[in-house]
A = this chain, B = another copy of it.
Amino acid sequence: MGRTDTRERILAAAVRTLATEGYAKTTARAIARVGGFAPGVIYYHFTDLDDLFVATAEFTSEARLRRYRAETDGVSAATDLLRRLRTLYAEDGADGHIAAVQELVGAAVTAPRLAAQVRVETARWLAFAEEVINRLVGGTPLASLVPVRETATAVVGAYLGIEMLTHLDPDLADPNALFDAAGRAAELFDGFRRE
């Protein structure tokens, strides 16, 4: 297996370990067990765990952002967008991405290099959200009413927080009910947009 493959395998194992064990228990030994390799392999690719967590934040964010961009490319109707977000949301949960991100954001409080990386990734997601919002409101009367930057922040924050709630307890915050309700709002929005 090549160097790049091994590096990706370590990063994917770090994501799964963070999601299932939590940050405090994500040791080199735990990651190695999840990934099925020797703990020493980690130190061939990363100087220390801190370095690995910084790379993990970048890895998981980039991988998901690539999927979000591919899936929403050119979409400008809210109903269409929401249908695609529903698929993407299911993927976020399936591979442990959102739970890992939650752990890394929490850990960033006391890890300055990780915090810097989390800020870089957040800025990328905010830029992506701004692009999508601009496509939704562009050329409509809403363009002058909607503050794109603040709406992007609110949307990214809401997505993060709602994912936290739904993964915490699907009974408290049922993703399907939320997507259904948002779907009705999207229909109203698209109707208003066409007027």
Contacts and interface: CB of A to CB of B under 8 A. Distances in A.
Contact of A119 (B172, B180, B182): B172
Give the number of copies in the complex.
2
Interface residues of A, number: 51
A182 B173 CA distance: 24
Interface stretch (A36-44, A63-71, A102-110): A102-110
Nearest to A169: B119
A182 B97 CA distance: 30
B109 A103 contact: yes
Given A106-B102, A150-B181, A164-B161, A172 B22 contact: no
What secondary structure prevails in chain A residues at the interface with B?
helix
A189 interface: no
Given A22-B106, A22-B109, A162 B154 contact: yes
Interface of A: 19-25, 99, 102-103, 105-111, 115, 118-119, 122-123, 126, 147, 149-151, 153-154, 156-166, 168-169, 172-174, 177-178, 180-182, 184
